[in-house]
Structure 1
Amino acid sequence: MTELSDTGLATRRRVLGPDHVARAQAAQTPFDAPFQALITDAAWGHVWSRGTIPLRERSMMTIALLAGLGNDGELALHLRSIPNTGTSRDDVMEALLHVAIYAGVPRANHAIALARRIFAEADAEGGQA
C-alpha cells in the first residue's frame, strides 16, 4: 500500500465506519480489487482527506450529489454515516432542499423518503443516524 492508500483507508473507516470497510474488504475479489483501490485512493485519499473543508460539509455535498443523481445505494450508505462526520439531520434536510431546487423535486422527495426510513431504523436500533 502507498501513503495515499493508507490515508484513504483511514478516512474511509472514519466516515463509513470500520465495520463497513471490513465488510467491503472481506467481499473484495480479484475482479473488483482494482476498483476498490481506485475509490480508496481517489475518493477517500484525494478528495475526502483534503483538509480544505470539514467532513460535515463534504458529507452534505455528497448527500446532495447522490440524491440529485438518484444513487440510492450510496445515498443510504452516506445517510447512515452522518454521525461519523458531524452532520446533523437538519443538515441533511438543508442539503435535500437544495436538491429539490437544483436537481428536481422528485429526486428530493425520493431522497427524503429514504432518509426518513434510515433515520427511523436508526432510532429503533438506538443509533444516531
Structure 2
Amino acid sequence: MAHPVDTAVGARVRELRIRAGVSQVELGRALGVSFQQVQKYEKGSNRMGASKLVLISKTLGVPVEALFDGIDGVDGATGDNHEALDKEASKIARDWARITDSKTRDTLRTVLHSLARAAA
C-alpha cells in the first residue's frame, strides 16, 4: 500500500507535468526510466529518490519544493503529527518500564511484532 506522502507527491508531479506540457514518455526519457515507471511514480506505487525528484523539478522547470506543495494535510506529514507520535511513544515507553515480568514482556513483544508486520 502506498504511503500517503508518496501518493501526494506523485499526484503533484502529474499535475506539474501536465501543466508543463510534458508527456510521461518525455519525463521518463529525462529520468532514464520507462513511461510505465513514471505512471507508478505518479500513482505513488513506487517511491522517488532524491535524485529523481531533482531531475523531475529541472525537467518540469519548477523548484524541487513545488513537488511538495499542498501535502501538509497528509497524515504523517506535519510537525504536529510528529509531536503527537513522540508523546504516544513516551507513554508506551513508560508503560513498558512498569512491566517487570520478563515472560509478560516477551509476550507483549511478540504481539507487537505480529501487529506491526500485519500493518505493514
Task: Tell me the TM-score normalised to structure 1 length.
Answer: 0.28
Q: If each structure's helix is expressed as a fraction of its own residues, which one has the higher value?
A: 1
